[in-house]
């Protein structure tokens, strides 16, 4: 598998390069300074860890090269989601706010919480002090899953120290408190997940795919 990595100079981009080297995986690492070199890259798939603001550019590259694209950026606007829904007709697109297997299994657990919808739901998310978006894409994903089950929630975001990523769903009843928590201890966790997603997306038909689709497959 040959990967075209876009956003190579970012925090996740640099970590992904380190991981890909341990996998003996052929890859081309591009950023905004040398993005035009994509034309000379012979690859099987695009992995986007750049920015939500570069989404349209990267979708156009994927369409031009007729390649599936895995989008790992967050903080997307409604216009971006419209673009994704448009381009899914032309190419396979995978988008996720979090590539951790454990986090996404936790999301599956949230589907069983409707009986507690009269409780108070609070999402507490912590990330390192340099993380740009707030709330995190993962926190918004948790909130979306709850909303699908008619559960309202609030989000509290903290940007402190060097915290890799921590998401806690706290559920307050009159006489009890339930907490569901996921803690990422090393960013390598997300690299492992992104690599598995790339393998999953090879030879897929045009359309939109998610971690939920991958969890249902035999790729894990």
| Residue 131 falls in the annotated catalytic set | yes
| Residue 187 falls in the annotated catalytic set | no
> What is the C-alpha radius of gyration for the chain, rounded to an integer number of angstroms?
18
Beta-sheet pairing, 69-71 with 26-30 = unpaired
d(CA 219, CA 78): 31
Catalytic entry in 126, 127, 140, 187: 127
Instruction: Find out whether 97 and 48 touch, Cβ atoms under 8 Å.
Output: no
d(CA 124, CA 166): 8
Cβ neighbour number for residue 28 with a 10 Å cutoff: 18
Q: Which DSSP symbol is given to 29?
A: E
Catalytic entry in 32, 131, 196, 204: 131
d(CA 78, CA 9): 26
Q: Report, as residue numbers or ranges, the catalytic residues.
A: 127, 131
């Amino acid at each position: 598998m040959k990967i075209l990595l876009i956003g190579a100079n970012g925090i996740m981009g640099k970590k992904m390069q380190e991981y890909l080297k341990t996998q003996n995986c052929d890859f081309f690492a591009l950023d905004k300074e040398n993005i035009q070199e994509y034309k000379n890259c012979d690859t099987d798939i695009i992995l986007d860890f750049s920015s939500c603001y570069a989404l349209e550019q990267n979708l156009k590259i994927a369409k031009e090269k007729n390649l599936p694209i895995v989008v790992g950026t967050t903080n997307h606007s409604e216009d971006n989601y419209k673009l994704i829904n448009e381009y899914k007709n032309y190419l396979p697109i995978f988008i996720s706010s979090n590539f951790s297997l454990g986090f996404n299994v936790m999301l599956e657990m949230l589907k069983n919480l409707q009986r507690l919808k009269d409780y108070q739901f609070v999402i507490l998310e912590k990330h390192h002090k340099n993380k740009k978006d707030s709330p995190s894409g993962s926190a918004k994903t948790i909130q979306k899953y709850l909303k699908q089950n008619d559960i309202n929630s609030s989000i509290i975001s903290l940007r402190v120290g060097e915290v890799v990523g921590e998401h806690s769903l706290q559920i307050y009843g009159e006489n009890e408190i339930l907490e569901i928590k996921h803690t990422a201890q090393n960013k390598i966790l997300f690299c492992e997940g992104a690599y598995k997603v790339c393998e999953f997306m090879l030879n897929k038909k045009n359309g939109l795919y998610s971690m939920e689709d991958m969890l249902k497959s035999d790729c894990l």
